[in-house]
Amino acid sequence: MEQDYLDIIWSIIWSILPISELRGGIPYAIANDVNPFLAYFICVGANILAFPIVFLFLEFLHPLFLKVGIYQKLFDKFVLKTRKKLKTKIKKYGFWGLMLFVMIPLPVTGAYTGSLAAWLFNIPKKKAFISVVLGVIISGIIVTIISLSGMEAFNFLIKKV
């Protein structure tokens, strides 16, 4: 029973971390026998927290950190990369482009980069939040289906060996 709670806590942590987000949280939970529906809801909920985390950071801490040279260089490099990657999609598709970007479960896509893009392109917070949340919900569905399919294939292979 105690292990179940630890697996849920780790799933939440993986889902909040910018490097893994849902792509880490949901597969971890499912691989550790957390109910897939519970895994989906707790990981999606945790990943949605990326939006307020990013905006709180950018509004309050970012101006302070900009005074540190190495931070400014790294941030500027990341901003240029993000702007270049998303500029045409955001300008052309707006709300839907941001949602599509967030929903793709690949590295450097997701709630954190989508929230940063919303801030960079001055998308109104309410509109950006809805777009990011929809992207996270759809991404969660995709990752859950892939994780469940992967576990079924893995279990099939183990039974054959």
pTM: 0.86
Buried b (16+ CB within 10 A) or exposed e, 97-134: bbbbbbbebeeebbbbbbbbbbbebebeeeebbebbbb
| Residue whose structure tokens are 């499912």 | 30
Query: Taking Cα atoms as reference points, which of 8, 12, 39, 7 lies closest to residue 26?
Result: 39
For residue 81, the number of C-alpha atoms closer than 13 Å in the C-beta half-sphere is: 9
For residue 139, what are the CA distances in angstroms to 38, 75, 103, 158, 159? 16, 26, 4, 28, 30
Query: Taking Cα atoms as reference points, which of 120, 153, 124, 139 lies closest to residue 25?
Result: 139
Q: What is the full per-residue pLDDT of the chain (161 aa) written as tens digits?
A: 566 899 999 999 999 999 999 999 999 999 999 999 999 999 999 999 999 999 999 999 999 998 888 998 998 888 888 788 777 778 788 899 999 999 999 888 899 999 999 998 889 999 999 999 999 999 999 999 999 998 776 555 556 55
30 in Cβ contact with 36 (< 8 Å)? yes
User: What is the number of other CB atoms lying within 10 angstroms of the CB of residue 154?
Assistant: 11
Instruction: Give the whole-angstrom CA distance, residue 111 versus residue 119.
Output: 12
Collapsed DSSP state (helix, strand, coil) of residue 82: helix
Q: Which helix (H) or strand (E) holds 13?
A: helix 2-16
